[in-house]
Amino acid sequence: MFGAGGGALAAGSLLTACKGAHDDEAGATGATGNFPKPGERWKFVFINHVTTNSFFAPTQNGIKDAAALLGVDYQWTGAEDGNVSTMATALDTAISGGAHGIAIALTDNTAFKAGCKRAFSRGIPVVAYNATAAGNYALAYIGQDLFLSGYKMGQRIVREVGSGDILVGISQPGGNNVQPRLDGIRKAIADAGDRITVHSVNTGAEQAAELSAMEAAYAGRKSAKGVYAVDAGSTAGIAQMIDKQGLKGKFHAGGYDTLSDTIEGVKSGALDFTIDQSAYLQGFLPMLALYLYRLSGSLVHPPEMDTGLTFVTADTVDPYVKAQSVYEDAKGKRMLSMPASLPLPAPLTVTSS
């Protein structure tokens, strides 16, 4: 951290020493890299729905790292228990406390509309992260595109399964965070000619019960050619079930997020894949977006950033298994060793009309 700062300073003084053809103001006061130091120290506020949930520990690491990189302050606040009223009040506090930028998880369709409008009217940029809701106001959404991730998963299921019955576990049918994924899967299957029948399994939100629900569903439909899930707990439940009952290879399987059972399942081959929505980037990228937007006086508009289309497979799972890191855990290493050779990523696709 100090090394990077020192490097930035040295680079800054070097740049000031010799000006190029363009007489710009790069690095003159050297806050970070080429960027000038703003008059006051900026503070970006993150409003979260479950501030102490372990899923968001890497998100906070991302925020912290970006804050150190950019020389800004941050506040991680909101509600511990999803309480929308507390979140809305925290949003108001951020505005009246003079935040220089706000990132908010839009877990409710209506509760944050007024607050976000007020923020914009006071010149405070707002981006949404982790959760988004139609009809709300934010410069961009930085997080997983839930429907798209489900659609990609559906395409993969079509490739792997072909036709027949599949089970898909969902912790909370209708829930803003999971239902769009299931809808995406159904859409992809329908687009591919509808040769797969989806049987959804309501698994509930408690992890022990999720395993039981998946086991019961599979016992009732042993002909299933694939067993999938659209939430972290149910995915881990599938991995446990395959391990416990020795079902590896009997059907295709996969799901979401990087709980340890899931990662072990991918490693052992019980699961074909899991989709990583990168909690770390959901903190790091909003900081960068807010910083550049402010620094450029609103010229550099944050793009939509989808953090959630990384398929973790047996080829790519090793870095997840090997070491605790700040990118996937609450604490751990910042620097991990680079694999000697890299698996080919999925070929690029281009949207055409």
Partner 1 sequence: MTTSTVDTRRGRMVVDGLLRRRELSIALVTVALGLYFTFTTTGFNTGSNYHIIAQYFAPWAIIAAGEVMLLICGEIDLSAGYMFTLAPFVLAVFVNNGAPLLIAVLGALAVSACVGIANGLIRTVLNMPSFITTLGMFFLLWGIALLLSGGSPVQAPEGGALVSVLGGARWAELCWAVGIVIVMQVVLSGTRFGVYTFAVGGNPTGASEAGIRTRRVKTACFALTSLLAGFAGILDGIRVGSFDPTNGGANYMFLAVASAVIGGTALLGGSGTVVGAFIGAVALGIVHEGFNLAGINANAFNAVLGVAVLAAMMLNIYLSRFSRAGT
Query: Which span sits near partner 1 by CB under 8 A: 86-94, 161-169, 188-196, 337-345?
Result: 86-94
CA distance readout (Å), 258 to 54, 68, 130, 167: 12, 26, 16, 20
- Rounded to 10 deg, the angle between the 207-220 and 232-245 helix axes is 60
Among 43, 187, 221, 267, binds partner 1 (CB under 8 A): 43
Closest to partner 1 by CB, 83 vs 207, is 83
Q: C-beta of 75: minimal distance to partner 1 in Å?
A: 5
Q: Minimum distance between the CB of residue 257 and partner 1, rounded to whole angstroms? A: 20
Nearer to partner 1, 108 or 328 (CB): 108
Contact of 78 with 47, CB cutoff 8 Å = yes
212 lies in the site for partner 1, by CB under 8 A? no
**Can residue 175 be called a binding residue for partner 1 (CB under 8 A)?**
yes
- Residue 54's CB: how many other CB atoms inside 10 A? 11
Site pattern 55..84 for partner 1 (x: CB under 8 A)? ------------------x-xxxxxxxxxx
Is residue 37 a contact point for partner 1 (CB under 8 A)? no
**What contacts 190, CB < 8 A, 6 or more positions away?**
none
Burial of 50 (0-12, 13-18, 19+ CB in 10 A): middle
Closest CA relative to residue 252, chosen from 308, 313, 206, 207: 313
How many of the other CB atoms lie within 10 Å of CB of 194?
A: 11
Q: Per CB under 8 A, does 316 bind partner 1?
A: no
What distance in Å separates the CA atoms of residue 252 and residue 229, rounded to the nearest whole number?
12
89 binds partner 1 (CB under 8 A): yes
**Is 95 a residue that touches partner 1 (CB under 8 A)?**
yes
* Residue ranges binding partner 1 (CB under 8 A): 43, 48, 51-52, 73, 75-85, 88-90, 92-93, 95-98, 108-111, 113-114, 172, 174-176
